[in-house]
Chain A
Amino acid sequence: MIHALLFLPALAGVLALLVPAWARLLGLVTTAVTAVLAFLLLQAGGVAGYTELPLLKEAGVYYAVGADGVGAVFALAISASVFLAFLAVREVPGRMLALGLLMTTGLLGIFLSYDLVLFYFFFEAALIPSLLLLGLYGGAGRVPALVKFALFTLVGSFLMLAGILAARYLGGAESFLMRDLLAHRLGGTAGVLAFWAFALAFAVKAPLFPLHVWMPDFHAQNHPSGFADVMGTLYKVGVFGFFRFAIPLFPEAFRAAQPYLLALAAITALGAAWIAYAQKDWKRLLAYGALSHMGVAALGVFSGTQVGAVGGLFLLAASALYTGGLFLYAGWMHRRFGSLELAPTHGLAKAAPALAALGLFLFLAMVGLPGLAGFPGEFLSALGAWQASPFWTLFGFSAVIAAAAYALTAYQRLFHGPPGKAVADLAGGEWAFATLAVLVVGFLGVYPKFFSAPLAEAARAFVAVLGGGQ
């Protein structure tokens, strides 16, 4: 089951490359199936479907996959996000969608791998479609954006590769399996260096200040439909990487680095939200808004507490849904106005009340309104972060004020004021996306236990490694 979940999107992606006209349908069916499979894994509990097959036995590389609570939650969130993306887009190149399906397998692999080399493989495998999406379907300034994105990611990846090799060979593990590496932890100076190699790679991919500079251009230059942005949002796996690999493998090094990491996370959270206020373009606004969320999620995980880790991961999974939703929403705006300017007109609520309501709903989720999907993660992160550092919690969570300012300003500039240009309200298929997005985002806010319970189970081991904390 877990193998079907993992490789079905890639199969469908290959098929869709051959027959681009089927891409959208294939995508919808595939991600619906993977969503069901992920749901079943979520219900199974434990590390569901754990499989260990030797790939290169001599080198100690295994095909080791399994879905613990975190893996299953993210598999579900990825499936749902990609499904929503396929639902929202119209009249886009089929091959672009095919690349999205190929990338989905890479993304799922990141969250389901229990072998570091396999993880590294998926981590890089997701990069190629991401680069192609930007390079083939991006905007006028895509080449510099591409180079920047590729350079940051690759430098981070090579450092991580060095860290992976060090973790095994200097630590004396028999293989690259996580259970082996955890049994032979690398300590001392070598451990600190290896930790930072991992940390830098994940800080690029979280992203965290000051390694985030690839991100605004990445989003601004990607295809205006928002499809590639959804995939890019799902690819921000750095916080998860810290949770699964960097921190459990090198707990001592993490403890030493914790104050600095908390500071970086808090600076990311507040700084990005503040900068978002000054943006005049949908993609840049959302890029900075999402960046701020990543800072908050990182605060939760870096707190090293049970509640904070659950919160950080929850926020990571949930924000993919509504941030992705907003990127797709921005794509609709582009279809209507031919530009991604934040407010090409004003007073739109009169002509398009349903469109306005959906926009407000998604923005409110982003602002962290309780009852919607953004709140549980943010709140639990705060509970955890306070236990680690009240100061950086206050600093980072001041972002909630800035978030209200940028989100409501953006919403009001477009929808309030005297009626301007009239455009079509939600129509036809857009209702399907709107209904589903509202249901999913609302459901996670009203019944967060659906995600938080499986996450909590996985977070207990994380906390046990660090020795304590609620």
Chain B
Amino acid sequence: MLLLTILLPFLGFLTLGLFGRRFREPAPGVLASGLVLLSFLLVVYLALAGGARFAVGDWLPGIPFALLGDRLSIYMALVVTGIGFLIHVYAIGYMAKDPGYSRFFAYFNFFIAMMLTLVFADSYPVMFIGWEGVGLASFLLIGFWYQEWKNADSARKAFVVNRIGDLGFLLGMALLYKLFGTLQISAIREAMASSLVLPAGLALAGTLLFLGAIGKSAQVPLMVWLPDAMAGPTPVSALIHAATMVTAGVYLLARSSFLYANLPDVSYWIAVIGLVTALYAALAALGQWDIKRIIAYSTISQLGYMFLAAGVGAYWIALFHVMTHAFYKALLFLSSGSVIHALGGEQDVRRMGGLRKYLPRTHLHGLAGALSLAGFPLLAGFWSKDAIVSATLSYPFGGVGFYAVALFTAFLTATYAMRWYVLVFLGDYRGQGHPHEAPPVMTLPNDVLALGAVFAGFLALPKPLWNLIEPYLAPALAHVEVQELSPAAEWGLLLVGAAVALAGIYAGYAFFSNYFRRRVPAWYQSFERAGEQGFYADWLYNTFLVNPAKELAFFLGLSDRGLDGGYRYGALGVAALGRWLARLQTGYVRFYALLVLAFAAVFAIWGVIR
């Protein structure tokens, strides 16, 4: 059953990959979407049936191909296949008339298959199959329009940067194997639970795995690939670079929570990295002008929040945010896609504005997504984000400093969310196109996502109200001791959070609704320019890492030739010595006699001295 959920989309990949060109539009899209829907239904069935296990013997020596459908993986798989299905349907409309139509859906199905492998894996190497597989899918889809060098370069950048993290994952597995003699996740978990003393080196293993998560989830300092990944078609950005793949790092931390709950130092750094990322990307988002890059930086920032949650030990909240974020971020991307579609490929928000009039349905989608992201009270993003912000005070690895920065970032989040919404939908239209609303195949999936972005938060509310997610996930996650806040304190914090969000929303609205008519202060303009460049992260990498590495490649190549030359001269030296010795062969017997005598004398003297 578990295997079938993976095999269905994989079958779609094979069919479309091999025979795709024989299908007429929209058959490939319908087939691909149908298979993902079937997978979704299978996952729902698994959820109702209470899970499943699957394992076949030794895949690698001592390492079975093991899959596990526990509550954690089923929860995640529901998000992947559910949101994945909606985005597949949307893409039927979005990718219409593209020459690579069936190739697109082949890759899309391949991605779902690999993502499900990642999610259901019960051993790290099996997870690594999915981990690298989704990386490959990401590479193929970012570079989907490969005829432009820029897209191809972005695709390669994503893969290579991810490989840095993957090296961490790989070595982390090597260390875990050394410590436990197995890489089966449930076995390691049991070994941890039954051992009194933690093996030395566990912190290093945790750090190495965390490095893998940093790469996949675009955390500082490996965040540079995600903004460029927007070169792919918009459904790709929604599915892979917002809703699912980039949350794999969070999933890895949650899956390994039994490790991290025992590693306070590593957890502290996870929280710090998450917070730095959240703040950095929120600031950078304020400087972006590309409709998709704004949301890309927002994704990095929101992933930072998830890492913060996982870092302080609030694993279930991290996963709660994964789910709500999947809804509103997919919605934001897909409504951006509808806007781009409507404007014939325009992506610069400076040439948008006033689209509320032309695209009423998409406007509502954008509004729901932006408000949910901003944390407008009672929407999905409000509940999950405030759960994270409050968790910095109650969970074991948290602290007041974390709380303050997280709250400030929430303000920035609301501001850039409003900036995006205002620049795109309000004011007057600043472009020259003739915007037209998207077809129903694109708006209907957004309707569903909008419902999620508004209501999904009600699955987990603060005490004394209901919380369905925490108890559901509890058996699969590590148990951490929480210093429960009193309900009064909790609701008080919630009010503070709501006030900050509203303030941010107001600030964003007030500042950007007449942005193009006002005189923007000079300091803000220079901040904006720096933000547009992601605060020069790419420049730093290129100057200090990428270009030197390339130069070094050429230099090493030359040195290798030099080594070759060294051997050559050595060989020539031997040959010269040979020629010199050959001169001894004079052909005169008297000369040979002299030599024999001379050597006899030398030996005689040597013998005497000895």
Please tell me if A317 contacts chain B, counting CB pairs below 8 Å.
no
Please tell me if A46 contacts chain B, counting CB pairs below 8 Å.
no
The answer to whether B59 touches A370, judged by C-beta atoms less than 8 angstroms apart, is no
The answer to whether A210 touches B170, judged by C-beta atoms less than 8 angstroms apart, is no
Please tell me if B143 contacts chain A, counting CB pairs below 8 Å.
yes
In the bound assembly, the distance between CA atoms of A364 and B164 in angstroms comes to 16
Binary interface encoding of chain A residues 403-414 relative to chain B, with 1 for a CB under 8 A from any of its CBs, else 0? 011001100100
In the bound assembly, the distance between CA atoms of A369 and B556 in angstroms comes to 26
Interface residues of A in 366-407 (CB under 8 A from B): 369-371, 376, 379-380, 382-383, 385-387, 390, 393-394, 397-398, 400-401, 404-405
Query: Beyond A347-B147, A400-B166, A417-B149, is A307–B61 a contact (Cβ under 8 Å)?
Result: yes
In the bound assembly, the distance between CA atoms of A234 and B385 in angstroms comes to 58
Interface residues of B in 24-76 (CB under 8 A from A): 57-62
Q: Which residues of B contact A213 (CB under 8 A)?
A: 560, 563-564, 567
**A17 CB to closest chain B CB, in angstroms?**
33
Which of B149, B164, B557, B567 is most buried by chain A, counting CB atoms within 10 A of its CB? B557
Please tell me if B160 contacts chain A, counting CB pairs below 8 Å.
yes
Please tell me if B115 contacts chain A, counting CB pairs below 8 Å.
no
The answer to whether A370 touches B133, judged by C-beta atoms less than 8 angstroms apart, is yes
In the bound assembly, the distance between CA atoms of A390 and B549 in angstroms comes to 23
Binary interface encoding of chain B residues 566-578 relative to chain A, with 1 for a CB under 8 A from any of its CBs, else 0? 0100010000000
Binary interface encoding of chain A residues 250-288 relative to chain B, with 1 for a CB under 8 A from any of its CBs, else 0? 000000000000000000000100110111000000000
Look across to chain A and name the residue whose beta carbon is closest to the beta carbon of B126. Answer: A370
Q: Which residues of A contact B556 (CB under 8 A)?
A: 271, 274-275, 278
The answer to whether B160 touches A401, judged by C-beta atoms less than 8 angstroms apart, is yes
Query: Beyond A277-B553, A278-B553, A370-B125, is A408–B160 a contact (Cβ under 8 Å)?
Result: yes
In the bound assembly, the distance between CA atoms of A205 and B147 in angstroms comes to 42
Interface residues of B in 105-163 (CB under 8 A from A): 125, 128-129, 132-133, 136, 139, 143, 146-149, 152, 155-156, 159-160, 163
Please tell me if B181 contacts chain A, counting CB pairs below 8 Å.
yes
The answer to whether A369 touches B163, judged by C-beta atoms less than 8 angstroms apart, is no
Please tell me if B463 contacts chain A, counting CB pairs below 8 Å.
no
The answer to whether A151 touches B125, judged by C-beta atoms less than 8 angstroms apart, is no
Q: Which residues of A contact B58 (CB under 8 A)?
A: 449, 452-453
Please tell me if B460 contacts chain A, counting CB pairs below 8 Å.
no
Please tell me if B491 contacts chain A, counting CB pairs below 8 Å.
no
Query: Beyond A213-B563, A397-B171, A409-B156, is A376–B136 a contact (Cβ under 8 Å)?
Result: no
The answer to whether B563 touches A210, judged by C-beta atoms less than 8 angstroms apart, is yes
Q: Select A274's contact among B139, B553, B564, beta carbons within 8 Å.
A: B553
Which of B61, B62, B166, B181 is most buried by chain A, counting CB atoms within 10 A of its CB? B61
Q: Which residues of A contact B592 (CB under 8 A)?
A: none
Q: Select A393's contact among B17, B143, B171, beta carbons within 8 Å.
A: B171
The answer to whether B152 touches A412, judged by C-beta atoms less than 8 angstroms apart, is yes
Which of A151, A275, A393, A448 is most buried by chain B, counting CB atoms within 10 A of its CB? A275
Please tell me if A456 contacts chain B, counting CB pairs below 8 Å.
yes
The answer to whether A383 touches B156, judged by C-beta atoms less than 8 angstroms apart, is no
Q: Which residues of A contact B167 (CB under 8 A)?
A: 397-398, 400-401
Q: Which residues of A contact B553 (CB under 8 A)?
A: 274-275, 277-278
The answer to whether B125 touches A379, judged by C-beta atoms less than 8 angstroms apart, is yes
**B389 CB to closest chain A CB, in angstroms?**
36
Please tell me if B357 contacts chain A, counting CB pairs below 8 Å.
no
In the bound assembly, the distance between CA atoms of A446 and B357 in angstroms comes to 54
Look across to chain B and name the residue whose beta carbon is closest to the beta carbon of A405. Answer: B160
Q: Interface with A: B172-180, B186-194, B526-534, B536-544, which one? A: B172-180
The answer to whether B156 touches A382, judged by C-beta atoms less than 8 angstroms apart, is no
Look across to chain B and name the residue whose beta carbon is closest to the beta carbon of A387. Answer: B178
The answer to whether B163 touches A401, judged by C-beta atoms less than 8 angstroms apart, is yes
Query: Beyond A371-B129, A449-B59, is A416–B552 a contact (Cβ under 8 Å)?
Result: no
Q: Select B163's contact among A274, A370, A400, A449, beta carbons within 8 Å.
A: A400
**B9 CB to closest chain A CB, in angstroms?**
15
Please tell me if B591 contacts chain A, counting CB pairs below 8 Å.
no
Please tell me if B550 contacts chain A, counting CB pairs below 8 Å.
yes
Please tell me if B554 contacts chain A, counting CB pairs below 8 Å.
yes
Interface residues of A in 299-324 (CB under 8 A from B): 307, 310
Q: Which residues of A contact B147 (CB under 8 A)?
A: 347, 350, 416-419
Which of B57, B147, B563 is most buried by chain A, counting CB atoms within 10 A of its CB? B147
**A439 CB to closest chain B CB, in angstroms?**
13
Look across to chain B and name the residue whose beta carbon is closest to the beta carbon of A151. Answer: B571
Query: Beyond A397-B167, A417-B149, is A382–B174 a contact (Cβ under 8 Å)?
Result: yes
Q: Which residues of A contact B560 (CB under 8 A)?
A: 213, 216, 271, 275
The answer to whether A408 touches B156, judged by C-beta atoms less than 8 angstroms apart, is yes
In the bound assembly, the distance between CA atoms of A369 and B117 in angstroms comes to 14
In the bound assembly, the distance between CA atoms of A448 and B57 in angstroms comes to 12
The answer to whether B146 touches A371, judged by C-beta atoms less than 8 angstroms apart, is no
Q: Select A416's contact among B149, B549, B557, beta carbons within 8 Å.
A: B149
**A446 CB to closest chain B CB, in angstroms?**
8
Q: Which residues of B contact A409 (CB under 8 A)?
A: 156
Q: Which residues of A contact B152 (CB under 8 A)?
A: 412, 416-417
In the bound assembly, the distance between CA atoms of A454 and B572 in angstroms comes to 47
Please tell me if A470 contacts chain B, counting CB pairs below 8 Å.
yes
The answer to whether A448 touches B59, judged by C-beta atoms less than 8 angstroms apart, is yes
Q: Which residues of A contact B178 (CB under 8 A)?
A: 383, 386-387
In the bound assembly, the distance between CA atoms of A409 and B139 in angstroms comes to 12
The answer to whether A404 touches B61, judged by C-beta atoms less than 8 angstroms apart, is no
Q: Which residues of B contact A310 (CB under 8 A)?
A: 61
Please tell me if A349 contacts chain B, counting CB pairs below 8 Å.
yes
Binary interface encoding of chain A residues 448-468 relative to chain B, with 1 for a CB under 8 A from any of its CBs, else 0? 110011001000000000000
Please tell me if A415 contacts chain B, counting CB pairs below 8 Å.
yes
**B292 CB to closest chain A CB, in angstroms?**
21
Binary interface encoding of chain A residues 138-182 relative to chain B, with 1 for a CB under 8 A from any of its CBs, else 0? 000000000010010000000000000000000000000000000
Q: Which residues of A contact B60 (CB under 8 A)?
A: 376, 379-380, 448-449, 452
Binary interface encoding of chain A residues 218-252 relative to chain B, with 1 for a CB under 8 A from any of its CBs, else 0? 00000000000000000000000000000000000
Q: Which residues of B contact A415 (CB under 8 A)?
A: 146
The answer to whether A401 touches B164, judged by C-beta atoms less than 8 angstroms apart, is yes
Q: Which residues of B contact A448 (CB under 8 A)?
A: 59-60
In the bound assembly, the distance between CA atoms of A383 and B178 in angstroms comes to 8
In the bound assembly, the distance between CA atoms of A412 and B160 in angstroms comes to 13
Binary interface encoding of chain A residues 198-212 relative to chain B, with 1 for a CB under 8 A from any of its CBs, else 0? 000000000000100
Q: Which residues of A contact B160 (CB under 8 A)?
A: 401, 404-405, 408
In the bound assembly, the distance between CA atoms of A369 and B139 in angstroms comes to 13
The answer to whether A369 touches B156, judged by C-beta atoms less than 8 angstroms apart, is no
The answer to whether B557 touches A275, judged by C-beta atoms less than 8 angstroms apart, is yes
Look across to chain A and name the residue whose beta carbon is closest to the beta carbon of B554. Answer: A278
**B499 CB to closest chain A CB, in angstroms?**
46
Q: Which residues of A contact B133 (CB under 8 A)?
A: 369-371
Q: Which residues of B contact A370 (CB under 8 A)?
A: 125, 128-129, 132-133
In the bound assembly, the distance between CA atoms of A33 and B554 in angstroms comes to 45
The answer to whether A449 touches B175, judged by C-beta atoms less than 8 angstroms apart, is no
In the bound assembly, the distance between CA atoms of A270 and B146 in angstroms comes to 29
Between A and B, 27 residue pairs with Cβ closer than 8 Å are A213-B560, A213-B567, A275-B553, A275-B560, A277-B553, A357-B17, A364-B136, A370-B129, A371-B129, A382-B171, A383-B177, A387-B178, A397-B167, A397-B171, A400-B166, A401-B163, A404-B160, A405-B156, A405-B160, A408-B156, A408-B159, A412-B143, A412-B146, A418-B147, A449-B58, A449-B59, A452-B60
Nearest first, the 6 A-B pairs at minimum CB distance are A386-B174, A416-B152, A278-B553, A416-B146, A370-B129, A277-B553
A→B interface (CB under 8 Å): 148, 151, 210, 213, 216-217, 271, 274-275, 277-279, 307, 310, 347, 349-350, 357, 364, 369-371, 376, 379-380, 382-383, 385-387, 390, 393-394, 397-398, 400-401, 404-405, 408-409, 412, 415-419, 448-449, 452-453, 456, 470
Given A379-B128, A400-B167, A415-B146, 20 additional A-B pairs, CB 8 A: A217-B564, A274-B549, A274-B552, A274-B553, A278-B550, A278-B554, A278-B556, A371-B133, A379-B125, A379-B170, A380-B61, A383-B177, A385-B174, A386-B178, A394-B171, A412-B152, A416-B146, A417-B149, A419-B147, A453-B58
